Copies of this chain bind each other. A is one copy, B any other.
């Protein structure tokens, strides 16, 4: 009847990613997704048997996404600061569209998540963490960055600043996030 969309599955993931960052895992339904696609909720079940399969798909998509970013940074020739700024930019975009970091979102709902996806969550975090850690290490080696903690700990500090920064920005506004962002960069340069 109407035109068929051959990549409905990808669209579902795209919408699911949006919803989970806007409202969280427990606050969106298959109906929310199917409505946006002008379909029935059973259509979503066709592509993802259950909600946990969808979440697994979304997390896997993020893993792929960060793998791509990682390769992109590696072959970019950019300075460590430019790489880090590319990473931070992602969080600034989240603030712009009233969303929060996927990691913060799943972490908040973690105790209600099905066991099957908990490991994938840890995998995603480790991936992001090691990306930041490597960039910090590189920046320290070539004199761009200066910090006294281990690269791992410094990465933790930055990650938590950003993750909670976007959460806070929802409530107390963009200004607080911007202050965090500026302080973060300033301290690394010092």
Contact = CB atoms under 8 A, between A and B. Distances in A.
Q: Summarize A's interface: helix, strand, loop or mixed.
A: helix
Interface in A147-172: 148-149, 152-154, 156-157, 159-165, 167-168, 170-172
Contact of A111 (B26, B98, B129, B168): B98
A176 to B, nearest CB: 6
Contacts of A22: 111
A179 B153 contact: yes
Quick one: copies of this chain in the complex?
A: 2
Contacts of A68: none
Top 5 closest pairs, chain A to chain B, by CB: A160-B164, A108-B108, A164-B164, A107-B167, A163-B164
23 contacts: A22-B111, A24-B108, A24-B112, A26-B26, A100-B107, A103-B168, A104-B104, A107-B170, A107-B171, A108-B167, A110-B170, A125-B171, A125-B172, A148-B186, A148-B187, A153-B180, A154-B183, A156-B165, A157-B161, A157-B180, A160-B164, A163-B164, A164-B164
